[in-house]
Structures are given as C-alpha cells and as structure tokens.
Amino acid sequence: MHAVRASLLVLVVVLAMPSLAQAQSGGEQRIVLAPLSSLSGESSRELASVEKVVEAGLAAVPGVTLISARDANQAARKAKKPELRSCEGEVPCLSALGTLVGAEYAVYAEVGGLGGAQVIYLKIVDARSSKELRSTTLELADGQDQASDSLAAATRLISPHRYVGFLEFKTSVPGATVFLDGHKIATTPSAPISIYVGSHALRVTHPERSDYVRWVDIDFQKTTSIEADLQLLPELKKNLSIEGVLANPQDNTTVKYRPTPWYYRWYTIGGGTAALLVGSAVLFSSFGDEVNADLTKHL
C-alpha cells in the first residue's frame, strides 16, 4: 500500500514538472533573475540601470513569466536566507533561489566593463535539477538599440530555437533549387524562410543557369532579401542563337524568340544561288557567238 502511494506521488510530481522542451514549445516558463553582481565595481545606480535592461529582455521572450531581481531579493530577506541574495553564479544557490520563489529556472547576470561598453555575462540554471543549461553575453553601449540587444541575448539564453531571422529570395527564374550550408531548403518561388542568426553559405542552382553563390548574414528578427541573378549558361545561349535569333539577348531572366527571317532560311539561299548560276551560264553562252565573230577575219 505504501509502495503504491509512493508511486502515485512520484507520478504526480513528474506530471506537474514541465520539461524544458515542453516549455520551449510554447508552455509558460517562470524565471527568476538573481540579484546582479559586478566585476568592475559598478555603482548601485549603474547596476540598477543594467538590471532594468536585462529584465526587459527576459520578460519580452514569449511564454516567460519573470520574477524580478528585486522581488527575489525581498523573498530571500523574508525567508531569512541572506546567502540567496548574492549567489555569485553558484548553481546550488541559484537553484535554491528558484525553488524559493517558485520558478523553474534562475538567471544569473554578472556585469563587467570593456572600454565604453558594459558586457553582461548571463547563464540560466534549471532549479529542479540544479544544472546549468546555457550561457551567453550581452553588450550594452551608448547609441545602440539596447532593448533589441537585450531581447536577442535573452532569446539565445532561454529559447535558442527562436533566435532566428528570415531569408527572402527574389528571382524571376522558377524551379531553381536553394541550398543553405549544403542543405536544400527551398525551390523558387518561395516565401521567406526562417533561418538561424549568423553567416551562412547560400547557393541557388538551376539546370539552365549559372549558379548564384554568396555568403549571407542573417540578423535577429530581420528579413534579409537576396536578388539571385541567374545568368543563362553560355553554351545554352550559343545553341539558342544558332537555332533562332534571340529577341533580346540581354534579357537573361526570360528567353524570347522570333522566327528566322525568310532571307536567312536555307531554301531561300539555296534557290537564289541556283538561279544565279543558271543566269550566268545563259549570259555567257549568249555572248559566245559575238566574241567569236569579232575574232574571225576573212582573207
């Protein structure tokens, strides 16, 4: 009986604990931001400013319910656990803080200076398993879009599968195959495709066209537009010019034809040549008698 109750209790606990995969697929995630720490002696005001930017980025990730560093600090003080107010990146401490405030994950942020910018080291810990999952960095500098940079860093940290941009193809050649990093991803025409942020090797190929090859940079939540100018293969263009006259040889996207002029056709040229030969023979034969009469003299 006790064994059955224990099994049921374990089953209930397991079902009540959503996995990270389930959370990333659209489930709600409760995340706590631990109080920030500093490497380069930032003032409390500077830390508070950075804290707001980091919290805004974390809260903007879809499916996240954020517990602020201030609320976490107050919870640790109320629970009389001062050690949880300054975890200094230690995984057991962050795990305990997450458990205290009812969060599945805890995020730690450490601020350092680099020139005129502030570099924030971020890592996320699973409060249930006491394991570090991922880490990333966020650079904040004057003149940059700090909100966008913070959201990008938070997305890399919490939901890396959402850290994507979009690739859009513009070409008037249908049936071209698009390869990215050696993998087929589309056939033209195609709607914009979701691609992980970073540099990628792009190749667009078509049996009758020269390949279009280049590197493309994909930015977070932005659409990169590519105009693939697929040139007609020189051999095919040469063959087409023999069979018929191109209406517009410069138009490499759509090949147009017009019939070969009648005066270029074989029967016109052949018939004209034959008529010229016959006429020449008749003309010379008619001149023959007159020439002989001029050369003849009677003595």
Residues 299, 296: Cα–Cα separation, whole Å? 10
Helix (H) or strand (E) holding 77: helix 69-78
Q: What is the pLDDT of residue 20?
A: 44
Residue 105 token pair: 């994950």
Residue 103 has pLDDT above 60, yes or no: yes
Minimum mean pLDDT range among 60-69, 110-119, 124-133, 249-258: 249-258
User: 107: which strand partners?
Assistant: 33, 124
Alpha-carbon gap, residue 265 to 6, rounded angstroms: 95
pLDDT tens profile 13-64: 333 334 443 444 446 899 999 999 888 777 788 888 899 999 999 999 999 9
Strand partners, 187: 177
DSSP assignments along 247-271, one per residue: S-TT--SS--EEPPPGGGSHHHHHH
Q: Which residue has the tokens 């010379």?
A: 284
Predicted structure pTM score? 0.67
**Residue 2 confidence (pLDDT):** 39
Q: 276-297 pLDDT, tens per residue? A: 776 676 666 665 555 455 545 5
Residue 228 has pLDDT above 80, yes or no: yes
Topology of the domain covering 27-162? Rossmann fold (3.40.50)
- Paired strand residues for 109: 122
Average pLDDT over residues 254-270: 55
Paired with 125 in beta bridges are 106, 132
**CA angle, residues 192, 194, 196, in degrees to nearest 5:** 140
Q: Could you tell me if 260 and 245 are in contact, meaning their C-beta atoms sit under 8 angstroms apart?
A: yes
The helix or strand, by DSSP H or E, that contains position 100, with its residue range, turns out to be helix 91-101
For the chain, domain boundaries: 27-162, 164-227, 238-273
Share of the chain above pLDDT 70, in %: 70
Work out the number of other CB atoms within 10 angstroms of the CB of residue 131: 11
Residue 255 predicted with pLDDT over 90: no
* Pair type for strands 29-33 and 64-67: parallel
- Distances 42 to 36, 117, 285 between C-alpha atoms, Å: 11, 12, 114
